[in-house]
Amino acid sequence: MVCTVIAGGFWGDEGKGKIISYLALKEPLDFCVRTGSVNAAHTIWFKGNRYALHMVPGGFVYEKCRLLIGAGSNVDIKQFLEEVEQTRVEDRISIDSQASIIEEKHSAQDKASDHLKGLGTTGRGVGPAIEERVRRTAKLAKDIPELKPYLTDVSEEVNDAIDKGKKVMLEGTQGIMLSLFFGTYPYVTSRDTSASAICSEAGVGPTKIDNVLLVLKAFVTRVGTGPLPGELSKEEAQKRGWFETAAGTGRDRRSAPFNFELAKKAVTINGATQIALTKLDSVYPACKGARTYEELPKDAKQFVTEIEKRMGIPVALIGTGAEALDIVDRRG
Ligand code: IMP
Ligand code: MG
């Protein structure tokens, strides 16, 4: 593996953070590039601590991993500085000079808009910030004195790393069903979330990608408004152990059983080469903490086999618990 793109297959919250943290430690990763913005929270459990990161790339768990935020991203300065302090990555994180800035006013506009409220946005201001960028009046990272020590050219660094055979991860946010282009419009986020868009935001061309790892949770969740096929009641979700609350906003997540049609669509649009199946232990509790395929119960194995058959690509990683290393790694 040289360059991997990691993308979400449903409505976000598939467990990308956990998979990234595992690969960061296991490979280990030399570079991890975050795309997207502060609306997304990637949850990582590491050494007994829980991190819900909106800005710092998930690869931070490996202490030698270079951390970058791509030109297509939107940076919340306060959030960035707080997370840099929390994760103690000051000496190994940089932002592309051309990343744009989310300001307080964008969040205020997001929260004040009845239209955006109706879509159930996170209220973090990402939509209004992107509007401003499209209007070409947005501030960029290079305009902000506090960010001066962190500026770099992400595209140049990452392409150079790929040419040298370093291990690089391009970290996507949300999932394909929240894509501005391919999702459940208008109940979507303000940008494309596909693997191609992740490459674009990082400044890496499609010929440089070796692997597109699609993260699918063993059941489906979404927060905010919009359609969710097969949606369960909150009571039923609680009964099944699938009830979750959002890492970023604390809102209830709606849930539904695994959806093969949506998964297939996600595989196609992302050009996925491998699947990471997360939270298998929430659907088959006997999987909890398993680290070999043999330990999984028969019905869980059948589920994995059916996914591989219908998607036509391997389920390479299986999540069996919250900690970074609770994974069945079938990559051989
Ligand atoms: P916005 O991205 O804050 O504008 O919100 C638009 C829609 O995307 C809403 O339904 C949000 O709940 C959803 N959304 C945005 N970011 C995330 C995420 O990281 N996880 C899950 N849903 C998200
Ligand atoms: Mg999340």
- Packed helices 260-270 and 298-311: angle between N→C axes, nearest 10 degrees: 50
Q: Give per-residue pLDDT as tens, 75-100.
A: 999 999 999 999 999 999 999 999 99
Pocket test for ligand 1, best of 53, 131, 178, 221 (most atoms within 8 A of CB): 178
Q: Which residues line ligand 1 (CB under 6 A)?
A: 11-13, 39-41, 119-122, 124, 126-127, 173-174, 178, 187, 189-190, 223-224
Q: Which regions of the chain are under pLDDT 50?
A: none
Predicted confidence at residue 249, as pLDDT, reads 85
pLDDT of res. 233: 97
Distance (Å) from CA 300 to ligand 2 centroid: 25
| 272 phi, psi to nearest 5 deg | -65, 145
pLDDT mean across residues, the chain: 97
Alpha-carbon dihedral sign for residues 176, 76, 19, 323: negative
- Active-site residues, by number, are 13, 42
Indicate the top mutation candidate among 6, 35, 39, 74 to test ligand 1's pocket, ranked by most ligand atoms within 8 A of CB.
Answer: 39
Expressed in angstroms, the distance from the first to the final Cα of the chain is 13
- 314-331 pLDDT, tens digit per residue, is 999 999 998 889 999 999
Q: Ligand 1 centroid to 123 CA: how many Å? A: 9
Atom 21 of ligand 1, nearest CA residue: 12
Q: What is the pLDDT, as a whole number, of residue 324?
A: 85
